Amino acid sequence: MRLKIGKLTFWLTIVAGAGTSLAGSLVWAQTAPDPVAEYRAMFGDDNPAVLWTLRGQDLWKEVRGSKHVSLAKSCDLGMGTGIIKGAYAHLPRYFADTKKVQDMESRLLTCMVDGQGMDKAAILKNRFGEGDRKSDLEALAAYVVDASNGVAISLPLEHPEEKRAYALGKAIFFYRAGTHDFSCASCHGQVGKRIRLQQLPDLAGPGKDARDTYATWPAYRVSQGEVRTMEWRIGDCFRQQRLPQLKYGSEAAIDLTMFLAKNAEGGKMAAPGLKR
Amino acid sequence: MTDPMRIRASLTGDTVEVKVLMSHPMETGLRKDASGKLVPARYIKNVKASCKGKDVLTADWGPAVSKNPFLAFRFKGGAAGEKVTVTWTDTAGESRTDEAEIR
């Protein structure tokens, strides 16, 4: 049903924009008050994401996998083994052991598969939880990102691979493709626009929109009742753009995250956030 | 298996404000899964909160309450250090009780 709703709403958007050139007319000036902001204010400090954070904390400390080790004793997210404070604010980054630039999700996967000896296919099958079928990755993501609360996003891009990831991410962001000739920038390249009541942050370069958006992901999605991460968010943008399914933890996903993260530099992490 | 609730109880003046976050799917019985089959209803039908053995809140809930419900309420007569106990029971007969100290 969720998928159906997704298709229906998108279809309606297209109808509203029909008759004029597509990519340019799908966005309207921001005039409506933000009902999501009011909803967020009612919750105050209480975010259902806490339920994920608590489960993630247990998973982080639990001895698991064929190697019988906990993530707390074996996983390096870039700040040293077991250190999560501030880790998310400096990701994605280059990791010498895997010789790759990795974001939080792909790094957690490396830790679980290579470090703990867990089954990669099983973890990936459950990468997006739904109801009783809970995702370990989403719980761990909530826990890890919560430990970066208040930390300023900083990505110096010192390693050439990091620079390359940023450049590729930028290229993907502006690359128009698919049946609707969409790029990320078609929706996220102007300030103060919206689709229906949904605000469209301008993510094409550094700025307040880029900071506020990146700093509040991962987030609890009220409409789904789940905590979702940046990998999910970008993957869903690809679906909305009618692009091929974005592979979880792929170079494209990580590079795009790198581009968004670098544009958000200086912003203070405030995740897990609370989203529509 | 049920996940723990997150309960916070804070005393301001003579009033205790309790905030409860429950982990529950709250299936309405109207939703269909990916294969088109109805997902059976399963939701919290009763919530009870007590302090010093006395009920401070009872609620009958239905399928219209959101997934992972958030409940906030106030009552008088509690003091710092005392415990607030919250119990929910769902339509599957499952139940969960957690408590928190008033601060």
The CATH number for A189's domain is 1.10.760.10
Digit-coded pLDDT (tens) for A152-166: 999 999 999 999 999
Domain end, chosen from A104, A121, A146, is at: A146
Q: Which of A51, A134, A275 has the highest number of chain B CBs within 10 A, making it the mutation to test binding with B?
A: A51
Range of the domain at A160: 2-45+154-275
| Interchain proximity B66–A222, CB inside 8 Å | yes
Average pLDDT over residues A178-188: 93
**CB spacing of B70 vs A43 below 8 angstroms:** yes
> How many structural domains does chain A have?
2
> Do A242 and A162 share a domain, yes or no?
yes
Lowest mean pLDDT among A34-43, A196-205, A265-274, B54-63: A34-43
What distance in Å separates the CA atoms of residue B26 and residue B92, rounded to the nearest whole number?
11
Question: B32 to chain A: which residues are within 8 Å by CB?
Answer: 1
Confidence category of residue A11, pLDDT binned at 50, 70, 90:
very low
Helix (H, G, I), strand (E, B) or coil at A206: coil
Q: Which of A95, A118, A146 is the last residue of a domain?
A: A146
**Are residues A171 and A129 part of one domain?**
no
Could you give the number of structural domains in chain B? 1
d(CA B2, CA B96): 7
| pLDDT at residue A30 is higher than 80 | no
Higher pLDDT, A132 or A268: A268
Chain B residues in contact with A1 by the CB 8 A cut-off are 31-32
- Pair A139, A86 in one domain: yes
Assess whether A256 and A120 both reside in one domain: no
CB B5 within 8 A of CB B23: yes
Distance (Å) from the alpha carbon of B31 to chain A's nearest alpha carbon: 7
Instruction: Give the list of residues 6+ apart from residue A28 with CB closer than 8 angstroms, or none.
Output: A193, A194, A195
Q: Give CA separation, A196 vs A24, A99, A191, in Å.
A: 15, 43, 15
What amino acid positions of A are annotated as catalytic residues?
A: 237
Specify the pTM: 0.81
Amino acid at A114: D
pLDDT at A38: 78
Asked if residue B61 is part of any domain, the answer here is yes
Contact criterion met (CB < 8 Å) for A1 and B31: yes
Handedness of CA A168, A213, A238, A24 (dihedral sign): negative
| End-of-domain residue from the set A100, A119, A146 | A146
Comparing alpha-carbon positions, the chain A residue that sits nearest to B23 is A51
Structural domain span for residue B61: 6-101
Q: B10-41, pLDDT tens digit by residue? A: 999 999 999 999 989 899 999 998 899 999 99
Helix (H, G, I), strand (E, B) or coil at A257: helix
Same domain, A138 and A163: no
* A32 has pLDDT over 80: no
Chain A residues lying within 8 Å of B40, measured CB to CB: none
Measured distance CA(A114)–CA(A121) in Å, rounded: 13
Dist. CA B65–CA B87, nearest whole Å: 16
Mean pLDDT of chain A: 86
Q: Domain for residue B36, yes or no?
A: yes
Residues A163 and A266 occupy one common structural domain: yes
Residue A242 pLDDT greater than 70, yes or no: yes
Both A131 and A240 in one domain: the answer is: no
